[in-house]
Structure 1
Amino acid sequence: MSRKKAGESTLVANGQHNVSTRPIFAWPKVDSDKTTDFVAEETPVALVYNGVSHAVMMASPWNLEAFAIGFSLSEGIVDRCDEIYAIDTQTVYNGIEISLTISRQRFEQLKARRRMLAGRTGCGICGTESLDQLVVDPPAVTRRAAVSHQAIFRATMALEAWQPVQQLTGAVHGAAWCVDDGTIIDVCEDIGRHNALDKLIGTLIPMDGFRESGFLLISSRASYEILQKSARANIEIVVAVSAPTSRAIDMAEKAGITLVGFSREHRHVVYAGHQRLIESNN
């Protein structure tokens, strides 16, 4: 798999794709020439399986095929990419509709779950009908990797250069896949942290992009669903720029995931699986 360079994200960082400008009035008026600002697009995206609407998520309207694939895998709707037969994306009057054709067996299982989501930015389990539907025992990760604290620091310091939309708008999250030495090979951005991870999963899994061992770096807190999706994608190490939640830590311990939070300059905190982190791997 060819590696991208910093800034070669899904968007061009010049504001021409899916980034809007809006008039502003700044106070105090330090820069009298600044009358507009870049803002991130936010669009309702409906996910429809075999003609039946399943979820409506507020998302950034780019890289949507990867989003649909990643969502389908990380939510357990399908187990493999070849269970998705077709994907069609079309703009409708009030948003974007992604229609997926999946195998009959998977569709019957989906209907049996009777789960309808009304997604909002940062929403993890909207629409779950009962507490019994929450995942208690995630799949155990089967891959094993050992990365250094220095590699985590290196990737964290490089993340900003990989987020052109965040640099323009300050409004989106990033999910990055980093190989053992801390080199970032791909980043996906979205207004929702879960959406960004789904886009990364949907981009890399069809390309066997998780073939190289490494770790996930996210520009947000580590929530329950970030760890749930990581477990389903067999991601062995999750590094968050912000804090983890208690349920995320519990999920990491059950799935055998190394969980790192508060990844900042020359500092991070390990909440689960510290045995996988070493002092140096050069």
Structure 2
Amino acid sequence: MTSSRVAPATTLRPEGTAPGERMLAVEAPVAVEVDGLGYAVMMMTPADLPAFATGFMLTERLADVAADVADIDVFEGAAGWIVRVTLAERCRGRIHDRVRHRTSDTSCGLCGIAGLEQLRRPMPGRPPAPRTTRDALFAALASLRDHQALNRATGAVHAAAACDADGRIVAACEDVGRHNALDKLIGTLALAGTPADFILVTSRLSFEMVDKALVGGVAMLVGVSAPTTLAVEHAREHGLTLVALARSDAMLVMDDPHGCYPLAAAERDSAHQRSG
């Protein structure tokens, strides 16, 4: 599966032009079929598709554990890629409840949802308390670029990284779609049986990113960009520690249900004065 491709390009400068080339991230349609029924067409990077399919089945609640995905068949067709998933017998009825043919672009992460009432989907349980120190959060952020080979080559893809309590990145996945990268990561962790203390993503924190992290069973979700209102509400409702706007000099804790990152006395007094 090819993740990048070279394309000709022309560089424009005030003094003139110059021919050249640019490495581009491959974006391709990937049709997901579940038990013979079309479920979604994702515009994504066609790599790590078995891991994506596993994570996608989990985050869509069509499967509960990796073992519920009985078989995955991946092949390339004339118009794009096709991923055919066979679910375990006990999960077969779920696809018939929510199946519909649809097309999704890279900004959508709620495939198979027919109405707003279906946003309130069951959760596997409340997240544990994070075991991660402030130093570990900054350490993970500092090493993230080392796990973004495709983005270094193209500058056009998102990453989702699984980190341990010390801030070491134990797995990372990339895709042109932020939701796809996170599904790939969740599938990778589920297939390997590898636990993670927190997930670090290179995108904004939206409702569906929080929802997928909750399915992944991690204690905390950290994003380099800002959160949405619904993301914060969803995290607070289900007890997920949420950290946004992660930069090398500062991060913003949006939800801290376990009180793991309390303000120091001086910070607390300052915050109280500002709010007053």
Q: Which amino acid aligns with 2:79?
A: N
1:249 corresponds in structure 2 to: 232
Paired with 1:76 and 1:126, the residues of 2 have a C-alpha distance of 11
Farther-moved stretch of structure 1 (266-275 vs 234-243): 266-275
Letter in 2 for 1:77: L
| Aligned equivalent of 2:173 | 188
Higher relative contact order (CA 8 A, sep 6+): 1
1:129 Cα deviation from its structure 2 partner: 2.1
Q: CA 1:31 to 1:91, structure 2 compared with 1: closer, same or farther past 3 Å? A: farther
- What aligned pairs does 1:14-33 form with structure 2 within 5 A after superposition? 17-28=2-13
Q: Which residue is equivalent to 1:226?
A: 209
1:72 paired residue number: 57
- The CA deviation string for residues 90-134 of structure 1, in whole angstroms up to 9 with x for no partner, is 101100001111123312122112444421012123563221121
Amino acid corresponding to residue 228 of structure 1 in structure 2? D
- Number of matched pairs: 262
Any gaps of 5 or more consecutive residues in structure 2?
Answer: 264-276
Which structure has the greater CA radius of gyration? Answer: 2
Match for 2:197 among 214, 223, 233?
A: 214
Conservation of the 8 A alpha-carbon contact between 1:180 and 1:214: yes
1:63 aligns with 2:48: yes
Match of 2:220 in 1: 237
Q: Which residue of the partner structure matches residue 268 of structure 2?
A: none
Please give the alpha-carbon distance, in whole angstroms, between the structure 2 residues aligned to 1:127 and 1:101: 17
Partner Cα distance (1:116, 1:227) in 2: 25
TM-score (structure 2 length as normaliser)? 0.89
Contact 2:10 2:17 in 1 (8 A): no
Match of 1:276 in 2: 260
SS in 2 for 1:158: helix
The answer on whether the counterparts of 1:47 and 1:56 sit within 8 Å (CA) in structure 2 is: yes
Counterpart in the other structure of 1:177: 162
Q: Which residue of structure 2 lines up, in the alignment, with residue 89 of structure 1? A: 74
Give the Cα–Cα distance (whole angstroms) in 2 for the partners of residues 120 and 204 of structure 1: 25
* Higher percent of residues as helix: 2
Deviations 1:245-279 (A, max 9, x none): 11110111111110000000120000001613379
Deviation of 1:183 after TM superposition, in Å, equals 1.0
TM-score (norm 1): 0.87
Unaligned segments of structure 1, at least 5 residues: 1-10, 12-16
Deviation at 1:26, TM superposition (A): 1.4
Which amino acid is 1:72 matched to?
M
1:200 aligns with: 185
In the superposition, relative to structure 1, how do residues 105 and 117 fare at CA in structure 2: closer, same or farther (>3 Å)? farther
Runs of 4+ aligned structure 1 residues displaced above 3 Å come to 29-34, 114-117, 136-140
Equivalent AA in structure 2 for residue 248 of structure 1: A
